[in-house]
Structure 1
Amino acid sequence: MSVIVLAGGTSRRFGSDKLAALLSDGRSVLDHCLSGMPSGWPVVVVGPSRVVPPAVVARVRFVRESPVGGGPLAGVAAGLSQVSGDVVCVAAGDVPRAGKMLPSLVAALEADPSVDGAVLSDGEGQPNPLIAAYRVNALRGAMPSAPANLPARTLLSLSHALVRPETEVHDIDTPADLEGAERPE
């Protein structure tokens, strides 16, 4: 099992590097995300190299999407080129608690051999293709030859199961989102 963490965005709505923004415990948004990844799972971070928490440094490697700034679908393609195995998870680096959802997504995928992905849904039932587990071969087959600047929802063309989150999941797009992520689970 591997995880692709997307960490190459521009943070336009946040106004500065949101992945470096600090939560109340003094750790960055990306540090929370990486530290929360399931133990032992290799992690491919798609984005510029950064210092990562010591507890995960041995299992993290960095790659860049092509072209740099090509969007999340290009990021998934870059990460996908670095993984092996039958299942890969995708997690947005701006979701501090993304790792907590991944085992449930993998379990949902493995429980239903008729689907190619298990995708987290938000509170209104909308799928988030950037917090998901996918069958590697199906994901490779669905990836456009030129994924740059195409919408991430392209991944929803794969047959998928929707999985409701066990706890509230916050992505950090604005300073207000950062404040909302501080609420206890």
Structure 2
Amino acid sequence: MTGGAVTALVVAGGASTRYGADKLAEPLGATTVLGHLVNTLPPDWAVVVVGERRPLPRDVTWVRDEPPGGGPLAGIAAGSGAVTTEALVVVGGDMPLAAPGAVALAQALDGAPYDVAAVAAALEHARAHPLLVAWRTAALRAALPADPRDGRVRAVLDAVPYRLLDVGADPVLDVDTPAALDLVRRRLDA
């Protein structure tokens, strides 16, 4: 599983309630938060974005979860149906610096024994980040509940054999507040 054998599944259908505005549309460099993420993913990866269509600097496959707003797990379930590669990396659309971590996770999954279903980005206290995970596509589909609305992504991950990988602080940084967006902008200016 190398190069084009990976799809990025970007979950971008949330309501941005903690942020208070459409955080994915916030300006970041020459594009937006979502645009920066999509533009920095490997060019040979297919990209599936779950959410409302919006302008992006790259061609992607758009998918909507049914019903819209059913939560991240419903978005992952909807997006996984559009994936044709043997592996995918789930990425939160509000994680504009996630691309290097996504690549590292895909590489770690490629080198893992086949019974390892996923490799997740590690957070402190040896916890997995549920929206930065490389999955074997078949394993993810098999683990999804029949009705994923309002389900917990972490529960699906906890139901399969997975490994953790420390990808650093920047890839797991999500834009949930204006202060977090300011931090991302400072990281990009550095």
Aligned to 1:143: 144
**Is the CA contact (8 Å cut-off) linking 1:125 and 1:164 kept in structure 2?**
no
Aligned to 1:177: 180
Q: Contact 1:5 / 1:93 at 8 angstroms: preserved in 2?
A: yes
How many residues end up aligned between the 2 structures? 180
Q: 3-state SS of the aligned residue for 2:119?
A: strand
**Cα pair 1:108 1:161 within 8 Å, conserved:** no
Q: How does 1:29-178 map to 2 (within 5 A)?
A: 29-53=33-57, 56-57=58-59, 60-113=60-113, 114-156=115-157, 157-169=159-171, 170-178=173-181
Q: CA deviation at 1:86?
A: 1.3
Q: RMSD across aligned C-alpha pairs, in angstroms? A: 1.4
CA distance in 2, matches of 1:99, 1:38: 8
| Counterparts of 1:123 and 1:175, CA distance in 2 | 23
* Cα distance in 1 between the residues matched to 2:18 and 2:147: 26
The 1-side partners of 2:33 and 2:150 are apart by: 24
User: 2:136 and 2:30 mapped to 1: Cα distance?
Assistant: 36
3-state SS of 1:127 partner: strand
Asked if 2 retains the 8 angstrom alpha-carbon contact of 1:118 and 1:133, the reply is: yes
- The C-alpha deviation readout for 1:111-152, integer Å capped at 9, x for no partner, is 111310000012443211211110111101100000000112
Q: Percent identity at matched positions?
A: 38
CA change 1:13–1:167 in 2 (3 A) is closer
Gaps in structure 2 of 5+ consecutive residues:
1-5
Hey, what's the Cα distance between the residues in 1 that align with 2:182 and 2:169? 17
1:6 is aligned, of 3, 8, 11, to 11
- 115-124 or 29-38: which moved more? 115-124
Query: Contact 1:122 / 1:165 at 8 angstroms: preserved in 2?
Result: no
Query: How many Å separate the matches in 2 of 1:163 and 1:72?
Result: 21
1:8 alignment partner, SS class: coil
Matched residue SS, 1:183: helix
Q: Distance in 1 between matches of 2:47 and 2:156?
A: 20
Unmatched tracts of structure 1, length 5 or more: none
